[in-house]
């Protein structure tokens, strides 16, 4: 069975916000609160990884454009 793809940033961030809201606004049993906390940590990790990859890509693109030879209008 194929491994499901991780959610994109927008989906993971939205799910993380929902988890945070539940944790902040609910009187949850300890077990359920721990489960939500673990889910939130996982979603936060996904978001951080996506952002880190985007940062690296932007850095690479910036360096590429800086190092590219300038074209003349001759």
Span 46-71, pLDDT tens digits: 999 999 999 999 999 888 877 766 66
CB 20 within 8 A of CB 47: no
pLDDT on residue 34: 97
Q: Mean pLDDT of all residues in the chain?
A: 89
Q: Is residue 36's pLDDT more than 80?
A: yes
54-70 CB burial, b ≥16 within 10 A, e <16: eeeeeeeeeeeeeeeee
pLDDT on residue 72: 56
State how far the alpha carbon of 70 is from the alpha carbons of 21, 65, 66, in Å: 51, 9, 9
Confidence of residue 5 (pLDDT cuts 50, 70, 90): confident
Instruction: Quote the pTM value.
Output: 0.78
């Amino acid at each position: 069975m194929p491994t499901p793809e991780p959610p994109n940033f927008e989906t993971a961030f939205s799910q993380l916000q929902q988890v945070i809201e539940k944790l902040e606004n609910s009187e949850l049993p300890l077990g359920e609160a721990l489960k939500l906390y673990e889910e939130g940590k996982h979603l936060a990790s996904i978001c951080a990884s996506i952002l880190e990859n985007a940062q690296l890509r932007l850095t690479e693109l910036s360096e590429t454009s800086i190092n590219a030879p300038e074209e003349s209008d001759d």
